[in-house]
Homo-oligomer: A and B are copies of this chain.
């Protein structure tokens, strides 16, 4: 008789954003006609940039003619896209990353969930707390996290690095020694980040203890301050300790287009074994490439027109972020983030729990946000709003919140 993967049964509840979707849909069914404003899940609302649209139409046309049709993509992704990434995201910033260290994928969510597969079962992971749920959940599914303690909402074999008001949301080196360190900077959910010298300390620490940093740079495009690194490879020594994950979801609005990439430098090895080779093997065996049309869309992101149009799109969302931050401060809230990231992280008022504030905001203002506790125990008492709504809806949501 077949057996299931028992690790799945250890997962408490459902995936955070599925739970939110279900709660909102239950509310709208009970209250038909209610005018919900969604600032919860980090989904974008602005249309794709004209340069991207035009590249996609062209690619669709190519698929209609046998002479220009494209079947299976190369394992690592098309050279036209990997070369554009290497030039614009790395060489232009002085980072030494070559095209063949870049693996094109269907998005950073899949990559951040799958990357743990190339590591042994016995590795201990360290995560910021609060954190994007996929890092921990994917390790739970593969049996690396020990037992769940419901009273503390923690896993026995996970090293938590609390990020709270008290330490200005900057993780500290843990007391126990981790093997894999997940860092998402600028941070989801807190919207905060760390300076480049601070990131250099993490790279030095990882090299010293022999750990790998899994660096999620999905929100890099939102960095506005000069002393913040856009890639971990701006730090010296990162090629021997860091894997970087990048997404096109937030810088180019590709949440429904699906494109991302992962960088595994060839210098990253465990003894004689190159992690680059292992990830290449996983990519070749368990994945079949991102669609040609989508890779052409990704190439257009790096065109002159694409870059200009997307700079404006990022500015549009960051105008929302500023409006949310200022509006909430006016209304007496304690607010963080929103300067180098499209997320606003607020302290819930009057000691409300995160989920109590979620319900309160949904029912009283018809505004959907994300409960901080959904990202980990240290997120309790916090709440995330995103800047990805339309400007009009963002202002309307703020008016409603101010009236509460």
Contacts and interface: CB of A to CB of B under 8 A. Distances in A.
A132 B198 CA distance: 48
Give the interface size class of chain A: 35 or more
A6 interface: yes
Given A5-B278, A273-B4, A284-B18, A63 B289 contact: no
Nearest to A42: B72
A14 B72 contact: no
Contacts of A211: 1-2
Interface string A1-44: 11111101101001100100000000000000000000001011
A81 to B, nearest CB: 14
Contacts of A109: 286-288
B141 A256 contact: no
Contact of A256 (B2, B18, B71): B71
A292 interface: yes
Interface stretch (A118-126, A230-238, A343-351, A359-367): A118-126
- Decide if the interface of chain A is mainly helix, strand, loop or mixed: loop
A60 B53 contact: yes
A3 B122 contact: yes
B71 A44 contact: yes
Given A45-B66, A138-B286, A4 B256 contact: no
Given A1-B210, A8-B278, A15 B284 contact: yes
A270 B3 contact: yes
A385 interface: no
Contact of A48 (B4, B63, B179, B390): B63
Nearest to A63: B48
A185 interface: no
Nearest to A289: B258
A120 B270 CA distance: 28
Given A11-B281, A50-B64, A256 B119 contact: no
Nearest to A7: B120
Contact of A56 (B2, B141, B293): B293
A234 to B, nearest CB: 22
A296 to B, nearest CB: 11
Contact of A281 (B8, B41, B56): B8
Nearest to A70: B256
Given A3-B123, A113-B286, A256-B70, A64 B46 contact: no
B256 A291 contact: yes
A84 interface: no
A193 to B, nearest CB: 24
Given A46-B66, A281-B8, A292-B256, A1 B273 contact: no
A69 interface: yes
4 tightest Cβ-Cβ pairs between the two chains A and B: A1-B210, A3-B120, A113-B286, A2-B179
Interface of A: 1-6, 8-9, 11, 14-15, 18, 41, 43-48, 50, 53, 56-57, 60-61, 63-66, 69-73, 75, 106-107, 109-110, 113-114, 117-123, 133-134, 137-138, 141, 179-180, 209-212, 253, 255-258, 270, 273, 275, 278, 281-282, 284-294, 390
